Amino acid sequence: MKKTILIIEDFAELLRLWKKLLSNEAFVLTAETLQQAEELFQRHKKEIDLIAVDGEVNGPVNNTVILIKKITEEFPSAKILAISGDDNNNKILINAGCGHSVTKPDTWKKIAELLA
Per the structure, the complete domain to which residue 29 belongs is given by: 3-115
CB 11 within 8 A of CB 55: no
pLDDT for the residue 48: 96
Short-list 65, 63, 58, CA closest to 32: 58
Mind listing the pLDDT tens digit for each residue in 42-55? Answer: 999 999 999 999 87
CB 102 within 8 A of CB 81: yes
Mind listing the pLDDT tens digit for each residue in 67-93? Answer: 999 999 999 999 999 998 888 888 999
Q: What is the pTM for the complete model shown?
A: 0.88
What order do you get walking across the sheet with 50-54 strand by strand?
A: 26-31, 3-8, 50-54, 80-84, 100-103
Domain count, the chain: 1
What CATH number corresponds to the domain at position 97?
A: 3.40.50.2300
